[in-house]
């Protein structure tokens, strides 16, 4: 199965099992807008909890905030989004499809990387145990040729992006012979700038309505509240403010499911530091955030840092944490050193002081900011991609199982009476009542136990508890473990502790060493 086929299956699975639906589907959907179903919302909430607790509970110097989506329009002038929050777009004249020029070039570079990896994999197979990968990469003429090609384009691309040189961006697309995937032609328009913010009107026209924006990032709600939180919370630098909330971007290229949406959710934390210490904190946060991802156990080799070729208008250093999705390594989270850009500009545009008096140095200054910013939806897709597994069983059957870390699973326990009679449903309900105050529990009595197991595997439920004839005699149940499919007999009075031990966030948090 190709990675593309795998991704298609994953998307179909998300719909079939109540994780993600296209928005307003009865009207044929709305581009790049999605709704989360009964299982999706639980997974999303669990991801948010993992993030929130690791920030706010586990750091004494980080507190939360919930700012509104609408903000005074001047906010977006001060933040630079009105003038600089643009993507370079290009149209194919034959298919009339619109693309992001930078994404076309990045995808071309990713294809070269794939070619190189294929060469390495072929050689590994050929040479077996004696394969010296480092030497092969450094000496293989084929690999070297591809690397040189990629590097030359990469250098031109980085310069063109930083200089906002759209003529050069178009030229790179032509020189790399990039064709439109739909029409197959290289009949491209010029590259143009496109502002990503959605605008709307506040107030009635008669009263003189104001154009306001739907926030394209949650961070600005934190910046404008910086002193409110600092003063009322008596926070001392360094300290952070964390927030989870919706953001909106009129993305030109809407594709790859919930990876790039027009309405999405961010989990952002702005960490306010003394000027001059920002690089140290940036490095620290890079490590802290990478550890958060890796604690989920999806394989350290599936994550990498990727430094930005083009820094956003506010940053002096920026890196992404990328995950190996079925469509390649892609950004899940950004860690940015935002300098004092935002606070200084808000000070300028609002006329209000944004300075902090540092009792340790006796100085007043505008703090510098290190930001960690992760999309909930991208994280959701990352977890789904990593968890989705198709298995061939010894019996000849196959199953689809979502191998979520137990703490993130939408449903923790399914309680299944073996048959719908002999007091088994009643006993099963007793077990549901025992567990339901602390865990998401499903009760299922329809179909054979085998079929019910498969349904629970498909939504990633870690435990299936079956009530049978023996249960009525000795108060024990069969507990089936999702990943191993192993079945053990457990006394009902031990169930709660067993589920708690396996599904607690504590296990994850301990891995973070915070
Ligand atoms: N405050 C900084 C900021 O917004 P960003 O790199 O533009 O930085 C941060 O976005 C994160 O938000 C990304 O790493 C990604 O996970 C998520 N994100 C951005 N645009 C998105 C979109 N259109 N759909 C889904 N997630 C998105």
Res 70: pLDDT: 96
pLDDT in tens, the chain (514 residues): 788 899 999 999 999 999 999 999 999 999 999 999 999 999 999 999 999 999 999 999 999 999 999 999 999 999 999 988 999 999 999 999 999 999 999 999 999 999 999 999 999 999 998 999 999 999 999 999 999 999 999 999 999 998 989 999 999 999 999 999 999 999 999 999 999 999 999 987 656 568 899 999 999 999 999 999 999 999 999 999 999 999 999 998 777 899 999 999 999 999 999 999 999 999 999 999 999 999 999 999 999 999 987 788 788 899 999 999 998 899 999 999 999 999 999 999 999 999 999 999 999 999 999 999 999 999 999 999 999 999 999 889 999 999 999 999 999 999 999 999 999 999 999 999 999 999 999 999 999 999 999 999 999 999 999 999 999 999 999 999 999 999 999 999 999 999 999 999 999 999 998 8
Cross-strand bridge partners of residue 240: 62, 271
Ligand 1 pocket, residue 334 CB under 6 Å: yes
Cα(60) to centroid of ligand 1, in Å?
Answer: 26
Cross-strand bridge partners of residue 339: 369
Cα(204) to centroid of ligand 1, in Å?
Answer: 32
What is the rounded end-to-end Cα distance, in angstroms, of the chain?
40
DSSP line for 199-215: EEEES-STT-PEEEEB-
Q: Can you give 449-475 as a three-state secondary structure string?
A: HHHHHHHHHHHCCCEEEEECHHHHHHC
Q: Can you give 247-260 as a three-state secondary structure string?
A: EECCCCCCCCHHHC
Res 170: pLDDT: 97
**Among 273, 216, 272, 220, CA closest to 243:** 220
- Return the ligand 1 atom nearest residue 218 CA: 1
**H helix runs in 360-415, sequence order:** 376-387
Most informative mutation of 215, 247, 266 for ligand 1 (most atoms within 8 A of CB) = 266
Cα(190) to centroid of ligand 1, in Å?
Answer: 26
* Shortest-distance Cα residue to atom 27 of ligand 1: 375
- Is the CB of residue 31 less than 8 Å from the CB of residue 262? yes
Ligand 1 pocket, residue 251 CB under 6 Å: yes
Cα(277) to centroid of ligand 1, in Å?
Answer: 25
Res 418: pLDDT: 97
Q: How far apart are CA 105 and CA 493, in angstroms?
A: 59
Cα(432) to centroid of ligand 1, in Å?
Answer: 39
- Is the CB of residue 186 less than 8 Å from the CB of residue 177? yes
- Is the CB of residue 442 less than 8 Å from the CB of residue 411? yes
* Shortest-distance Cα residue to atom 22 of ligand 1: 260
Cα(354) to centroid of ligand 1, in Å?
Answer: 26
Q: List Cβ neighbours of 313 (8 Å cut-off, separation of 6 or more).
A: 80, 84, 85, 341
Cα(163) to centroid of ligand 1, in Å?
Answer: 22
What are the CA-CA distances from residue 251 to residues 137, 139, 140, 255, 286 (Å)? 37, 42, 40, 9, 27
DSSP 359: T
Q: How far apart are CA 197 and CA 205, in angstroms?
A: 21
Ligand 1 pocket, residue 264 CB under 6 Å: yes
Q: List Cβ neighbours of 88 (8 Å cut-off, separation of 6 or more).
A: 100, 101, 102, 166, 169, 191, 192, 193, 194
* Shortest-distance Cα residue to atom 20 of ligand 1: 260
Q: Can you give 471-506 as a three-state secondary structure string?
A: HHHHCEEEEEECCCCCEEEEEHHHHHHHHHHHHCCH
* Shortest-distance Cα residue to atom 25 of ligand 1: 260
Find the helix packing angle between 376-387 and 38-52, rounded to 10°: 110
Pairing, β 263-273 against β 303-307: unpaired
Q: What is the C-alpha R_g of the chain?
A: 26
What are the CA-CA distances from residue 294 to residues 175, 290, 405, 494 (Å)? 39, 6, 12, 31
- Return the ligand 1 atom nearest residue 216 CA: 4
Would you state the structure tokens that stand for residue 174, as one six-digit string? 């032509």
């Amino acid at each position: 199965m190709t990675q593309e086929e795998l991704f298609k299956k994953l998307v179909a699975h998300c719909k079939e099992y109540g994780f993600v639906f296209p928005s307003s589907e009865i009207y044929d959907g709305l581009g790049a807008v999605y709704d989360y179903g009964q299982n999706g919302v639980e997974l999303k909430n669990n991801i948010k909890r993992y993030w929130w607790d690791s920030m706010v509970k586990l750091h004494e110097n980080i507190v939360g905030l919930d700012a509104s989506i609408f903000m005074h329009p001047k906010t977006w002038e001060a933040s630079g989004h009105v003038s600089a929050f643009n993507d370079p777009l290009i149209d194919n004249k034959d298919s009339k499809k619109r693309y992001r020029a930078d994404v076309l070039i990045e995808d071309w570079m990713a294809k070269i990387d794939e070619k190189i990896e294929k060469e390495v994999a072929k050689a590994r197979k050929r040479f077996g145990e004696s394969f010296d990968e480092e030497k092969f990469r450094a000496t293989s003429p084929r690999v070297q040729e591809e690397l040189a090609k990629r590097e030359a384009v990469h250098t031109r691309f980085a310069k063109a992006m930083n200089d906002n040189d759209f003529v050069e961006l178009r030229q790179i697309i032509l020189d790399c012979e990039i064709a439109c995937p739909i029409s197959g032609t290289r009949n491209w328009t010029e590259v143009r700038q496109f502002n990503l913010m959605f605008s709307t009107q506040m107030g009635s026209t008669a009263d003189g309505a104001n154009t306001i924006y739907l926030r394209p990032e949650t961070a600005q709600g934190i910046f404008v509240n910086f002193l409110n939180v600092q003063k009322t919370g008596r926070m001392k630098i360094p300290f952070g403010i964390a927030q989870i909330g919706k953001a909106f971007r009129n993305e030109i290229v809407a594709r790859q499911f919930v990876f790039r949406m027009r309405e999405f959710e961010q989990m952002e934390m702005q960490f306010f530091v003394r000027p001059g210490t920002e690089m140290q904190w940036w490095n620290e946060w890079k490590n802290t955030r990478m550890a958060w991802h890796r604690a989920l156990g999806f394989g350290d080799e599936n994550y990498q840092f990727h430094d930005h070729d083009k820094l956003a208008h506010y940053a002096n250093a920026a890196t992404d944490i990328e995950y190996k999705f079925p469509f390649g390594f892609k950004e899940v989270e950004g860690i940015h050193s935002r300098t004092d850009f935002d606070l200084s500009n808000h000070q300028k545009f609002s006329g209000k002081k944004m300075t902090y008096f540092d009792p340790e140095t006796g100085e007043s200054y505008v703090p510098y900011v290190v930001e960690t910013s992760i999309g909930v939806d991208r994280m959701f897709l990352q977890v789904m991609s990593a968890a989705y597994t198709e298995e061939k069983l010894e019996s000849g059957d196959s199953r689809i199982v979502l191998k979520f870390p137990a703490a993130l699973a939408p449903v923790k326990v399914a309680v299944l009476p073996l048959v719908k009679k002999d007091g088994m449903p009643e006993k099963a309900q007793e077990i549901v009542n025992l567990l339901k105050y602390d865990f998401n529990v499903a009760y299922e009595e329809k179909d054979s136990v085998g079929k019910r197991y498969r349904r629970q595997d498909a939504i990633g439920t870690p435990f299936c508890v079956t009530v049978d004839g023996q249960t009525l005699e000795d108060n024990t149940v069969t507990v089936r473990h999702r990943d191993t499919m192993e079945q053990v007999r457990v006394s009902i009075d031990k169930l709660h502790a067993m589920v708690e031990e396996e599904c607690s966030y504590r296990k994850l948090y301990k891995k973070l060493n915070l």
